[in-house]
Amino acid sequence: MDVVARWRLLLATSTALLAGATSLSAQPSAQSSAQSSAQSSAQSSAQSSMRRLVDLHHTSWTAREGLPESGVVAPMRSPDGYLWLGTSDALIRFDGVRFVRVDSSTASVLQSAAVGYLSPKLVDRAGRLWISRPDGALVVYERGAFREVLSADSSRGPVAELIEDGNGRLWARARRVFVLRGGRPEAPPLPAAIDAREVSGIAADSGGGLLIGTTTGQLWHLSPTGAIRLPSTGTPNLRPLLQDHGGRIWFMQNGFQSQLNGVTTTIKPPTGTASVGGTVAAELNDGSVVLATRGYGLLRWRDGRVDQFSEAAGLTDAVVRGLHQDDDGSLWVTTDAGLDRLRIAPFITLGKGHALPFQSPTSIVADADGSLWMAAFNARALYRLHGGAVRGADSALRVDSVLPPGDLPILLATASPAGGPWVYDLRHQFYRVVDGRVRPVPGLLVASNTGIHALEDARGSLWLGNSPTGLRIWRNGTLTRLVIPDESARTLIVGITQDARGAVWVSMRNPSQLIQYASDTVVSRITSPGGARLPMTNVLSEGGDTLWANADGTLLRLIGTRAATVKIPSIELLLRTPYPSLLVAAGYLWFGGESALGRIPLAALHHAADSAGRPPPVPEFFGSADGLRSAKLTNLIRKSAATAADGRLWFVTPAGLAVVSPAELRRTSRVARAVVEEVRVNGVVSPSPIIPPNPERVEIHFTATELFAPERVHIQYRLDGADGDWVTATGTRSAMYTQLRHGRYRFRVRAWNDDDATGAEATLELRVVPAWYQTWWFAVVLVVTVLAITTALVRARLKEKERRAAERLQARFDAELSERTRLARDLHDTLLQGLTGITLQIQAVQDSLIREPEAAHTALGRILDMTDTTLRESRSMVWEMRAPELNAQPLPVALESAALSLVGTSGIALTFDVTGAPHRLALDTETTILRVGREAIANAVRHSGASTLRVTLSYEAARVCLIVQDNGRGMSPDQESVGIANGHWGLRGMRERATHAGGMLSIDGANGDGTTLLLCLPSAMS
C-alpha cells in the first residue's frame, strides 16, 4: 500500500474517533431513586478526528543529539536517502541515526564569501539537490559529490527560492528573479506588467505552472496558456507558497491566506482570532496543508478546519523555519531549537489527552453490537466506547459512563453475544448490562478467593470457573455445578473458551488437564498434549476445530485431540509471565504481555507445527516506531485486548488505549540504502580510494539511510581480502583496519529492514599502494641482485676452494719434494757413502788378501763395522718414512716408548704426561706427532745438555698438542739456519712436517733457559 493510500485509509476509517463531541451521557434508569442518584453522567467534546497533528507519531532531535544550538533550516531529502539541513556555516547530513556536519573542509565548494545560511532549496527531476550559498552561488549535490553550478555574485545576493516548472526550467529568486540556463542566469519570460526586480516570491502551482507575487501586492499565475493576474488585496510584499491539488492557492500577505475561485480566506489558529505570520507551507499526501508559523508552531488546514501542533504538544520550538514531506510520508520540521518528524503510524494511543475519562483502563471487551466496554482501576463506573471508529462509521466517538448499584468497584467478566457485558463487584455479585443499565442478576453470587473466569456460550449459558466453587454454569436462573474429573480442593480453573463448533474447553491445574464439554458433559480429556507442560492458559479458537493455547511458554495447537507444539524462543519468557494475552485476528496470532506486543502469521505457525525440526517462525514486534507509546499491556484476568466490529484491534497499555487497523500493518517495502560515506587514513579523510603505503589505521565510515524506522535497520559489512565473513555493524557504523598490506580490496556494505529478506549492497574498491620496496620492480631488482651476489659469492668461494686446494697440493708437492730431497741427501750422506766406502774397502782387501793376510783380516773387520753402521742408518731412514709402532699401539704408548728408548742411559730425568681424553687420530696426524716428538727428544738428548726432560701430550676439543721441554743450554734464534748450513735438517724437517699436517710448530729456547717445543695439530679423528 503506498503512502497516499495509507493516509486515506487511516483518515477514512477513523474520521470521527475524536471528531465530534465525545460524551459521557447519562443513561435512563428504572432503578430506585438512590441508585439513580448514584448513577453519573458527563459529557465532553473531543477534537475533530485522528487527523489532528497531535495524533501523528512524533520524534524530535535537539542540540542534545548533535544539532547546533542556533537551530536548523530548510530540510530536504536527497535521492540517496539523506536528510539535509541548513545552518549558518555548514550543512547537516542525517541518516536517521547520526548528524554529520558537512562544511568547506569536506567540500570546498561550500566555502562562502558572505555570511549567511547554507540552505537546501530543491531536488529536481534529475535527482540533484540544489543548495543556496550566502554569496549568491548555487551548489549541486549529486551521487555523493558537490559541485558549483552558479558562481557567486554579491550584487545578485543569495537565492531565496528555487523552483522547477513543468518544462524543467529552473526559476530562482534573489534580489531579482531569473532563470538558470547552462549555469548562467538569464532574464525570465515574464509579462511586461511584472518587473523582475519587484518579484517578492515565486512558487510552483499544481500543474507545472508558476505563481508570482510582487512587492506591490500583485498575485500572478503563469502557465503554458499565458499569464493571469489573480485577485489580491494589494498589500505589499505578497509571497505565494503553493497551490494544492484542490486548486487552492496559498500565500503570505499579512499572515497566511488561501484563495479558491477568487475567494480569499485568512488562516487563524484554532484558539486565536488574528492571522499569523510564517515562512513556508507544504501539502501532505492526504490533501491537507501544513503551515510553518513564527510563534504558533504548526497549523494544519483541511476542509476549512485548523488544528495546531506546538510546544505544548512536544514541538521543539514554536518558531518553525522549514517543512519537507519525503517519499515515506514523513513530515520533517525545522525550528529554532531543533528538528521534528511527524508521520502516520499504524497504532494510535488514546488517553486523557483525547478527552477520555481515564488515561488507561484495566480491561476491555467487545460485545456483539460493536461496542467496547472498559473498566478502570478501582472505579465504580463501567465505560462504553461506541460509534465513530469503533463501528467503522464517520460519526462522533462516544464514551458513556454506567454506574452499577452499590459502592464497590466492578470488574469485567466477559462479553455477551447478545450485547452488553457481564460484570461483578468485589463481593462477586454478578450484573448484566442491558439497554445501557447495569442490572444485578438475582442468585448469581459466587464465592471466590481467586479471579473468576467467565464465558457466555452460544446458547446464552454463563460458564464460571473459580476456586473453591469449581466449575459452574448459570442457565435459566439456576447455578449448576459441573463434574470435573479428579477434582480436588486444590483444583483451579485457569481458562474457559468456546470453539467454532460450540464446544466449551476448560483448562485447569491440580490436576493439570484440558477438558472438552458438550451439553454440560465431559466428552474428551487431555492431560499431556504433545508432551507439552500443563496447565494450558490463553486457550482460544482459531476457527473450525483448531485451538491455540499457551503451555508454560510454548504455543500448543489442538486440532480435535491431536496436539502439536511450537516453541518460539523470543517470546517464551513473555508467555511465562503472569497473565499474557493471546488473540487471533486477521490471519495472525497476536501476543502481548509485560514486555512486548507482536504477532505471528498463523500460516507460519501451522507450518512449524506440521514440520518437526524446522526453525520456528520469527515474530513481528511493535514498538514506538509503530506509534505505540508503551508496548506493555495492562493485564487483569487476560482482558487486555479486544477486536471491534470493524476489525480494529484494541489493546490496554499503561500509556493509554492503543488501537490499530490490521490493514495499516501491511508495511510498504522500504529499501534501506547502504552507503559508503568516507575513508579515513590515519585519522585524515582520504580524497580517493587510493591509500598510501603502509597505513597504520584505515577507517571506513558507512551507513544505511533509512529515516522512517532506523531502529529496524540491520547493517553488515566486510572487506574482501581482510574479513573472512560478514561483520554485523553496531554503534558507530564504521570499520577499522590496521596494518593493511598493499593490494586491492573491496569494501561491501549491505542493509535491510526487519521485513526484507536481503539487503541492498554498496561497494567501494580500495587499493593500498605498495612502498617502493614492495613494488614488483623492486622485487625483480632484489631477486636479480640477490642472484648476482649469490653467484659472485659462489664463484668467489669456488675460487677460494680452488686456491686452497692448489695451496694444499703445492704444499704437499713441496713437502714431498723436500722429503725426496732429504731422502736423496740422506741416501747420499749415509747409504751411498757407506756402500761406496765398503766397496773401496773390499777392493783393497781383494788386492791384499794374498799378500797381506793379516792386514786383510783387519780390513774385513772395518768393513763389517761400516756395514753395521750403514745398516743402522738405512733402518733409521726407513723409520723416518713410516711409523710401524703405531700399528700395534696407541700414540701415547708409542711416544712414551720412543722417549724412553732415546733417553736410555743418558742420565736425563724423563717425565711423560697425557692430559685430556686420549683417542685415535688420523694416521698422518699421529705419525707427524710421533716423528716430531722423536726428533725433538733426540735433539734434547744429544745437544741440550739437560738434566730433566718433560714430554706432555694434550688432547683438547678441537686439537692435540705436544710439548717437549728441557732445562738445557737452550738454543739461539738462528740455530735452524746454522744447522742447515752444517748439513743438519732436523729443525727444518719438523716445521715442514707440522705445516704439511695443517698444524703449527713453535720453538722457544733462549740461551741458558732451556728449550720448549710446542706442536699443535687439528684433532681429526680416525
3-class DSSP string for 132-177:
ECCCCCEEEEECCEEEEEECCCCCCCCCCEEEECCCCCEEEECCCE
Q: Kindly report the length of the chain.
A: 1022
Helix H or strand E encompassing 899: helix 891-903
The pLDDT value recorded for residue 222 is 93
CA distance 329 to 255: 27
The pLDDT value recorded for residue 447 is 80
The pLDDT value recorded for residue 467 is 74
The pLDDT value recorded for residue 725 is 93
Tally of CB atoms within 10 A around 867: 15
Q: What is the pTM of this model?
A: 0.69
**Cell digits for 973?**
734464534
Q: Nearest-5° angle of CA 406, CA 411, CA 412?
A: 125
CA distance 200 to 888: 131
Strands 581-585 and 562-566: unpaired
3-state secondary structure of 397: coil
* Amino acid (one-letter) located at 623: G
Q: What share of the chain is helix, strand, coil (3-state, %, to 5)?
A: 25, 35, 40
* Contact indicator for 315, 333 with CB cutoff of 8 Å: yes
* Contact indicator for 322, 74 with CB cutoff of 8 Å: yes
95: nearest Cα among 762, 766, 682, 623: 762
The pLDDT value recorded for residue 398 is 78
CA distance 828 to 839: 15
The pLDDT value recorded for residue 900 is 87
Is the alpha carbon torsion for 238, 243, 249, 250 positive or negative? negative
Residue 798 phi, psi dihedral angles, 5° rounding:
-65, -40
Cell 485522528, located at residue? 50
Radius of gyration of the chain (CA): 57
Superfamily of the domain at 673-774: Immunoglobulins (2.60.40.10)
Strands 129-132 and 119-123: antiparallel
CA distance 104 to 91: 10
CA distance 135 to 105: 18
Is the alpha carbon torsion for 211, 212, 216, 218 positive or negative? negative
> E strands, 284-418, where?
289-293, 298-302, 305-309, 320-325, 331-335, 339-343, 347-350, 363-366, 372-375, 382-386, 398-402, 410-414
Residue 450 phi, psi dihedral angles, 5° rounding:
-135, 175
> E strands, 310-393, where?
320-325, 331-335, 339-343, 347-350, 363-366, 372-375, 382-386
Tally of CB atoms within 10 A around 253: 24
The pLDDT value recorded for residue 877 is 59
* Contact indicator for 401, 24 with CB cutoff of 8 Å: yes
Domain ranges of the chain: 350-660, 673-774, 776-868, 883-1018
Strands 948-955 and 909-915: parallel
Q: Give 10-residue mean pLDDT values along the chain (1022 residues).
A: 38 32 28 31 32 83 89 92 94 93 92 93 95 96 94 92 92 94 90 92 90 94 90 89 93 92 90 81 90 93 89 92 91 95 88 76 83 83 75 62 84 86 89 87 83 88 86 91 88 88 89 88 82 74 88 88 89 88 92 91 93 86 88 76 86 89 72 89 90 94 88 91 91 90 94 71 93 87 92 93 88 74 57 60 70 77 74 62 71 88 82 92 87 86 87 93 91 68 67 86 81 90 58
CATH architecture of the domain with range 883-1018? 2-Layer Sandwich (3.30)
CA distance 508 to 516: 12
* Contact indicator for 410, 431 with CB cutoff of 8 Å: yes
3-state secondary structure of 257: strand
What is the full DSSP assignment across 784-801?
HHHHHHHHHHHHHHHHHH
The pLDDT value recorded for residue 340 is 96
**Cell digits for 975?**
740455530
Provide CATH code, domain 350-660: 2.130.10.10
CA distance 95 to 755: 19
CA distance 448 to 475: 19
The pLDDT value recorded for residue 646 is 79
Tally of CB atoms within 10 A around 917: 8
934: nearest Cα among 948, 949, 918: 949
